[in-house]
Amino acid sequence: MFDIGFTELMVIAVVALVVIGPEKLPKVARTVGAYLGRLQRYVNDVKADINREIELDELRRFKQTVEDTARNFESSVQSEVSGAESAINKVTEGVTEPLSNLDPLASNSAPSLAAEPGPSATGFDSEVNVPIGTSSTTTASATAVLPTGESASETTPAATRAA
C-alpha cells in the first residue's frame, strides 16, 4: 500500500521513541495497532458491501433478462396454442358440417347395412362359421352341431390338423 521497507520502519520507531518517550510508547503502539485493525475491518466491510452490490446488480440484470425471456417464450407459446386451437376448430367444423349433412342419409341406409354383415366384417365364412382360408369340410364336420344338441364328430380341430 505505502511500500514502506524495513529501514523506513526503523526510522519511524526511533522518531516515535524520541518524541513520545519510552513510558508511553507501548500504550501508543497498542492504540495505533487497534486503530489500524479497525481501519482494515472497515475497508474489508466496504469492499464486501461493494461486491455485494455489484453481485446484486448483476443478479437484478440477470433476473430481468430471465423475466424478459420467459415473457417472450410465454407469448410465443400462447400464439402457437391459439394457432393450433384455430386449426382444430377449422378441422372440427369441416368434419361436423359433412356429418350433419349425412345424418338424414345415414338414418335411412343404416338398417340395411346392419342386417347383412359381410365376411370381412366378422372374419368368418358365413356358410359354416369357420375362419376364412381354412377347409370348410374338415372343420365343419368337427364343429357342426346336430339338431338334437350332439356334435357330429367327436374329433377336435387340433386332432384333424394332426391327421
> Above 80 in pLDDT, residue 60?
yes
In a domain? residue 31: yes
* Segment among 6-20, 58-72, 123-137 with least mean pLDDT: 123-137
DSSP states of 106-138 as a string? Answer: HHHHHHHHHHS--HHHHSEETTTTEETTS-HHH
Which structural domain, as residue segments, surrounds residue 67? 6-115
pTM of the model: 0.37
Residues 50 and 77 in one domain: yes
Structurally, the chain folds into a number of domains equal to 2
Residues 105 and 123 in one domain: no
Residues 131 and 87 in one domain: no
Neighbours of 29 (CB within 10 A): 13
Residues 157 and 106 in one domain: no
In a domain? residue 1: no
Residues 93 and 138 in one domain: no
- 134 close to 123: Cβ distance less than 8 angstroms: no
pLDDT in tens, 10-21: 998 899 889 988
Residues 106 and 146 in one domain: no
In a domain? residue 46: yes
Residue 111: the pLDDT is 52
In a domain? residue 11: yes
Residue 9's beta-bridge partner residues? Answer: none
Residues 19 and 64 in one domain: yes
Residues 105 and 132 in one domain: no
